Structure 1
Amino acid sequence: MTISALNELEGLSFAKGHATGNDFVLISDPQGHHDLNAQQVAALCHRRFGLGGDGLIRAVPTSMVSGYESQVAENPEAQWFMDYRNSDGSIAEMCGNGVRAFVHFLMAEGLVNLEVGQTLSIGSRAGVKKVQRTANGYAANLGPWGLIHEDKATAESVDSLVLASGWNQHRPALSITMGNPHTVVALSDPQELEALDLFHVPEVEPVPANGTNVEFVVPAEPLLSNGVATVRMRVHERGVGETLSCGTGACAAAAAMRYWAHSQATIDHWTVQIPGGEVGVDFVPVASGREEVVLSGPAVLVARGVLGSD
């Protein structure tokens, strides 16, 4: 099935990129001709028989994406849509590392021109996102964070239970939306974080409607240094498995830590260390009384090519 799915895509140009080790196959589709199906995406992302990747990102005009045409009508500057798929071919709402790689790809393709300090609006299934080019990469405003099970979280500070492979009991957790779902588990022991078996999908109760990514987080000692809080994280992404990095997951992890440590709620600047490096997470108050979350970090393209047949 993998070979035939790839043969259907013979001649398709692609790039390979990553953001802190979260890697993607990227394709440019300015005419809207390459709306790949789940089997084709899974074949391209297969690490043995395909190109390999945690996901696939298609650059397509927002006006050509069924169901999302209104985004460009309401936000004319959001001309490009980040069509993101998990490595198993399933659709995902947003990827914080992916959106940085996406903007870097748009620039490399000559589809946009973005100077340091300038901002680009991107269409996505999680709404329009603004990405600023920085001296060292990109900073993406991913919008507000929220609690998925708000009533229970407000009453108990947690709203979910997680069982990871090798554990003999469920651990309390907090489910957070960053436009996509996350469930965050706090650990106190760095050795426990290292020893986690994430080859198996963690069990979450209750499971958010569209499944969830699961983040396991350990605070640094000390947590706060020079006004910046630091945590370490590993993640199991739905439809993928463990990845070296998850941008929206890093944001969710920082948001959960702030929520639990109410006395630390004024800490707006966080560093999240993941196996693929580290990213910055900043919380910005907005007029609505909510907080928007800005994710910053690098993005790199490592290869280009054209698919051949077998």
Structure 2
Amino acid sequence: MAGLRFTKGHGTGNDFVLIADPDGEQDLAPSEIARLCDRRFGVGADGVLRAVRAAADAEGAAIAVGDPEVEWFMDYRNADGSAAEMCGNGIRVFTAFLLAEGLATLPDGGALRIATRGGVRPVRRDGTGFAVDLGGYALGGPEVLVQVPGVQVARPGLAVTVPNPHVVVALADGDELDAADLTRPPRLEPEPPAGANVELVHPADPLVQEGVGRIRMRVHERGSGETLSCGTGAAAAALAARSWAGLAAPSVWRVAVPGGELGVRMLAADDGEHVELSGPAELVYSGEWPGPLRTSSTR
């Protein structure tokens, strides 16, 4: 596939290859996506974001049905080529890409409604870059025991769906968080049917400062491995921390990740409480893939 134009971008170090495909002509195979994301033989990224008009993609059209404000579908693929429901960092970078390419406009005070596999998500500008309403969430369910390489004792994890599946684990101290080996996938017992991202969390001391909760997080993402940040994972971690902290816990959180800091806010909505994620989005460079996207066996 010669002549494939792309842009590289990131949100707090969670990096993506972005492709403009308005008419739905470049639905890449999983092996081609893995090739692009390969950090030795490709561009290198945690995933691929394909910008396709919802009307030009069967999956996007089904998600956007009945919502005339939705023009774009964010087709998000993990580094191994598998599809994911949503990406909280990715949708902010996706929005920055649409604006930079002249494919969309976002006036101050307005919202850009984007179709994702996790539903239609509105994105607005804010002081950190962009904020996205991730919608409702599900907290709890059957307990999952999580064994993390480098952490001596298996820990119980809290299941959180927002809308990707997550399992959040509280660790005893910062040293334990630093010692965790996330180059290998944590073992989940029982294993969720669709897999899950795993977030390891340690609270700041004090947990709440000036009405804002603060935690530190590392993450292993299904299909990508350890990443410097995970947007929906930060939301899941903040929801879990608030649940553990009790009724007096705040609804505004700052989540420190290896790639920076993200904001999480819980807010009332007509259909129940939603969770909003905010943070930066940066486009780094653009280029053109010079030749066929040959599959590489090494990543």
* Shorter-chain TM-score tier: over 0.9
Contact 1:116/1:135 (<8 A) preserved = no
Number of residue-to-residue matches in the alignment:
292
Match of 2:254 among 262, 267, 271: 271
Give 2:230's aligned residue: 246
Q: Does 1:198 align with 2:182?
A: yes
Match of 2:94 among 102, 111, 130: 102
Give 1:40's aligned residue: 32
Distance 1:287 1:120 in 2: 19
Aligned pairs for 1:84-95 (under 5 A) are: 84-95=76-87
How far off is 1:73 after superposition?
Answer: 2.6
**Superposed CA offset, 1:102-145 (max 9, x none):** 00000011001112332100001000000001233000000011
Distance 1:140 1:213 in 2: 20
Give 2:110's aligned residue: 118
Give 2:16's aligned residue: 24
**Counterpart residue identity of residue 288, structure 2:** V
Contact 2:150/2:179 (<8 A) preserved = no
Distance 1:226 1:41 in 2: 44
Deviates more, 1:138-147 or 1:65-74: 65-74
**Superposed CA offset, 1:184-217 (max 9, x none):** 0001200111111111100012222210000000
Match of 1:80 among 59, 65, 72: 72
Distance 2:146 2:67 in 1: 39
Aligned pairs for 1:44-55 (under 5 A) are: 44-55=36-47
**Superposed CA offset, 1:63-88 (max 9, x none):** 22223423333111111000000001
- SS of residue matched to 2:169: strand
Contact 1:281/1:296 (<8 A) preserved = yes
Give 2:266's aligned residue: 283
Distance 1:116 1:226 in 2: 28
Q: Does 1:304 align with 2:292?
A: no
Q: Does 1:180 align with 2:164?
A: yes
Distance 1:215 1:115 in 2: 34
- SS of residue matched to 1:91: coil
- SS of residue matched to 1:174: strand
- SS of residue matched to 1:67: helix
Aligned pairs for 1:122-201 (under 5 A) are: 122-147=114-139, 149=141, 152=142, 159-201=143-185
How far off is 1:148 after superposition?
Answer: 5.5
User: Which segments of 5 or more consecutive residues in structure 1 lack a partner in the other structure?
Assistant: 1-8, 153-158
- SS of residue matched to 1:263: coil
Contact 1:71/1:78 (<8 A) preserved = no
**Counterpart residue identity of residue 186, structure 2:** P
Distance 1:72 1:164 in 2: 39
**Superposed CA offset, 1:11-54 (max 9, x none):** 01000000000000000001110000100000000000000000
Distance 1:49 1:224 in 2: 44
User: Which segments of 5 or more consecutive residues in structure 2 lack a partner in the other structure?
Assistant: 293-299
Distance 2:60 2:18 in 1: 20
Match of 1:11 among 3, 24, 47: 3
**Change over 3 Å in CA distance of 1:135–1:169 after alignment to 2:** closer
**Change over 3 Å in CA distance of 1:148–1:78 after alignment to 2:** farther
Identity, in percent, stands at 52
Root-mean-square deviation (CA, aligned residues, Å) is 1.3
Q: Return structure 1 stretches of 4+ with deviation > 6 angstroms.
A: none
Distance 1:160 1:72 in 2: 34
Q: Does 1:292 align with 2:280?
A: no
Q: Does 1:260 align with 2:252?
A: no
**Counterpart residue identity of residue 133, structure 1:** R
Contact 1:78/1:123 (<8 A) preserved = yes
Distance 2:199 2:209 in 1: 23
